[in-house]
Amino acid sequence: MSIRQAVLTDLNTVKNISELTISEIYPHYYPKGAVDFFLEHHSEENILDDIKKNRVFLCLDTSQNIIGTITVKGNEICRLFVLPDYQSKGFGTEMLDFAERIISEQYSRVVLDASLPAKQIYLKRGYRDVKFNIITVGSSDFLCYDVMEKKI
């Protein structure tokens, strides 16, 4: 496994990983309005902006297949997605370790918005809830999520 910085030609790969993971996993945890919100939030325009600012990284398996992505903005971890077929194999843990190392070079704490599917993982890694948010999405759905942080 290896991690490398994303470049402009990786835009569609990052977008596809994000969309596929959201579309396959999130409907088990969130209403349709929230899933649509996530898909729009991780739009091509937002991903492109992060790639241009050198914030996006890709995770590759031992065969050099790109199987995940993570975005680091200052002391915040964003857009952590592992393709569904590669989940529960340690790739997310490796990407989190990588992001925490980068952040620890300049900051004393890591912040992230925890999705329901990943919250248990963050709790096991020592993250704690610092804020609870509710956003109205779609016509009548709500997106509930926690902001979590970890001192490093």
Per residue in 118-148, pLDDT tens? Answer: 999 999 999 999 999 999 997 789 999 999 9
Q: How far is CA 121 from CA 88, 115, 117, in A?
A: 11, 10, 8
Mean pLDDT of the chain: 96
Q: Would you state the pLDDT for residue 139?
A: 78
**Mean per-residue pLDDT, 83-89:** 96
45, 46, 52, 53 alpha-carbon torsion, rounded to 10°: 160
Structure tokens at 49: 């902006």
Sequence-distant (6+) residues with CB within 8 A of 99 are 57, 70, 72, 77, 80, 110
Q: Would you state the pLDDT for residue 18?
A: 98
* In-domain check, residue 134: no
Token match 């993570």: residue? 70
* In-domain check, residue 68: yes
* In-domain check, residue 37: yes
Structure tokens at 112: 């992230």
User: How does pLDDT run across 47-65, given as a tens digit for each residue?
Assistant: 999 999 999 999 999 999 9
Q: Would you state the pLDDT for residue 40?
A: 95
CATH of the domain at 96: 3.40.630.30
* In-domain check, residue 14: yes
Q: How far is CA 44 from CA 30, 53, 126, 144, in A?
A: 22, 14, 32, 24
- How many domains does one find in the chain? 1
> How many CB atoms neighbour CB 136 within 10 A?
11
